[in-house]
Amino acid sequence: MATCWWPRVPRRRSRPDTRAHGLDHATGHALGGRDVPSANRITLLRDADGDGKVEMRSAFLTGLNSPIGMALVGDDFYVANTDGVVRFPYTEGATEITAKGEKIADLPAGDLNLHWVKNIVASPDARASTPASGPTAISAKMAWTTRKAGPHFTRSTSAPVNRVFSPPACAIRWGCAFHPESGALWTTVNERDELGSDLVPDYMTAVQANGFYGWPYSYFGDHLDPRARPQRPDLVEKAIVPDYALGPHTASLGLAFYDNTLFPERYRGGAFVGQHGSWNRRPPSGYKVIFVPFEDGRPTGEPQDFLTGFLSEGDDAYGRPVGVAIDKSGVLLVADDVGNTIWRVTPAAAE
**Residue 5 lies inside a defined structural domain of this protein:** no
Contact by Cβ (8 Å): 70, 79: yes
Domain assignment of residue 3, yes or no: no
Assigned domain for 2 exists: no
Question: 4 lies in a domain?
Answer: no
What pLDDT sits at residue 151? 40
Structural domain containing residue 165: 10-347
Residue 273 lies in a domain: yes
**Predicted pLDDT at 142:** 31
- pLDDT at position 270 is 98
Q: What is the pLDDT of residue 290?
A: 97
Predicted TM-score (pTM) of this structure = 0.82
293 falls within a domain:
yes
Residue 341 belongs to a domain: yes
Phi/psi for 266 (5° steps) reads -65, -15
Task: Walk along the chain (351 residues) and give the pLDDT tens digit of each residue.
Answer: 344 556 776 554 565 565 555 555 455 543 334 455 678 999 999 988 888 888 999 999 999 998 988 889 889 999 989 888 899 999 998 999 999 999 988 877 766 545 567 788 887 776 655 555 444 343 333 333 333 333 444 444 333 333 333 334 444 567 889 999 999 999 999 888 888 889 999 999 998 888 889 988 999 999 999 998 899 999 999 999 999 999 999 999 999 999 999 999 999 999 999 999 988 888 999 999 999 999 999 999 999 999 999 988 888 889 999 999 999 999 999 999 888 899 999 988 633
CATH number of the structural domain spanning residue 337: 2.120.10.30
User: What are residue 336's DSSP bridge partners?
Assistant: 321, 341
Q: What is the Cβ-side half-sphere exposure of residue 196, based on CA atoms within 13 angstroms? A: 3
pLDDT given for residue 115 in this prediction? 57
Q: How many domains does the chain have?
A: 1
